[in-house]
C-alpha cells in the first residue's frame, strides 16, 4: 500500500487516471487500492477529493464505453472473449446474461464492487440494446459511487491505509451488500410510487364517470355497441 501511495504522490492525477482506466479496461491493476491512496492523499491536502472522484468517473466511463461499443459491434462474442480463460466460458456467459436479465441497468450501479461483473456489465448493456445515454447515466452513477466509497475509506483511514486496504479485502462483500440494499430500497420505493399512481387513476376514472352521469352529460359508447350488445349486420 505504501508503494502505491508514493507512486500516486510522485506522478499525481495523470497516473491515477491511467491506473483506473487500465484497471477498468481489464489490466491486472488494483483499482480500489489506487482509490484508497488518492483518498489518503486528499486527506493530507496533496490531492483534491472532488477531483479524485471526477477522474474516477471519467476513467471508468471511458473504459466501460469501449466495452459497450464492443458489445454493440460484436455481440455475445465479447462475453466469450472476456470469459475465455475461465474453466467453462459458456456457463459464465449464460450466468452473466441471466443476472443482467433479472436486474437490468441497476447492475451498473454495483458492478464495480464485484470482480468479474464490472467487465461484463457494459457489453451486456449493449447486447440488451440499452441506449447510449441511459448506459452513460447509470454507468457514471455507479462510477461515482465506486469513487466515493473507496476514496472515502482512504480519506477516513488516511493515517492507516494498510488497515483500510485490509478492511476492503475482507469487507468487500459487506460494502456491496450495503450498496445493493440501498438500490433495492430505491427500486422498491419507485415501484410503489408507480403502483399507487395506477391505483389512484383507476379510482378517479369511475368517480369522474358517475359525476358526468349525475350532471346529465352524455356517455360515448364504442361504435356498434348499444346497451352492452353488439348489433349484427
**Domain ranges across the chain:** 2-169
Confidence (pLDDT) at 226: 47
How many Cβ atoms sit within 10 Å of the Cβ of residue 45? 7
Grid cell of 203 as nine digits: 379510482
Closest CA to 43 of 130, 155, 120, 201: 155
Confidence (pLDDT) at 65: 96
pTM: 0.71
Confidence (pLDDT) at 96: 79
Confidence (pLDDT) at 132: 92
Residue 86 near residue 44 (C-beta atoms within 8 A): no
Grid cell of 147 as nine digits: 469513487
Confidence (pLDDT) at 184: 62
Q: What is the DSSP string of 98-163?
A: HHHHHHGGGHHHHGGGSTTHHHHHHHHHHHTT--HHHHHHHHHHHHHHHHHHHHHHHHHTTT-HHH
Closest CA to 137 of 91, 68, 84: 68
d(CA 202, CA 196): 10
d(CA 100, CA 122): 10
Using 50 as the pLDDT threshold, list the residues of the chain that sit under it: 209, 219, 221-222, 224-233
Confidence (pLDDT) at 230: 47
List, in sequence order, every residue forming a beta bridge with 225; answer none if it has no partner: 230
Amino acid at each position: 500500500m505504501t508503494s502505491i501511495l508514493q507512486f500516486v504522490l510522485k506522478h499525481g492525477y495523470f497516473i491515477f487516471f491511467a491506473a483506473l482506466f487500465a484497471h477498468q479496461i481489464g489490466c491486472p491493476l488494483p483499482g480500489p487500492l489506487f482509490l484508497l491512496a488518492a483518498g489518503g492523499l486528499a486527506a493530507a491536502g496533496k490531492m483534491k477529493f472532488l477531483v479524485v472522484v471526477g477522474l474516477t468517473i471519467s476513467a471508468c466511463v471511458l473504459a466501460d464505453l469501449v466495452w459497450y461499443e464492443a458489445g454493440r459491434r460484436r455481440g455475445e462474442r465479447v462475453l466469450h472473449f472476456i470469459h475465455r480463460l475461465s474453466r467453462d466460458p459458456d456457463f459464465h456467459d449464460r450466468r452473466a446474461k441471466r443476472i443482467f436479465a433479472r436486474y437490468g441497468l441497476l447492475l451498473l450501479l454495483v458492478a464495480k464492487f464485484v470482480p468479474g461483473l464490472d467487465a461484463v456489465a457494459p457489453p451486456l448493456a449493449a447486447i440488451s440494446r440499452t441506449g447510449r445515454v441511459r448506459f452513460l447515466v447509470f454507468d457514471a452513477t455507479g462510477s461515482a459511487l465506486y469513487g466515493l466509497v473507496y476514496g472515502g475509506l482512504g480519506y477516513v483511514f488516511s493515517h492507516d491505509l494498510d488497515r483500510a486496504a485490509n478492511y476492503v479485502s475482507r469487507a468487500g462483500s459487506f460494502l456491496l451488500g450495503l450498496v445493493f440494499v440501498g438500490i433495492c430500497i430505491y427500486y422498491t420505493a419507485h415501484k410503489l410510487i408507480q403502483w399507487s399512481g395506477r391505483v389512484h387513476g383507476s379510482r378517479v376514472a369511475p368517480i369522474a364517470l358517475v359525476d358526468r352521469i349525475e350532471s346529465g352529460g352524455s356517455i360515448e359508447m364504442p361504435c356498434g355497441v348499444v346497451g352492452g350488445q353488439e348489433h349484427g349486420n
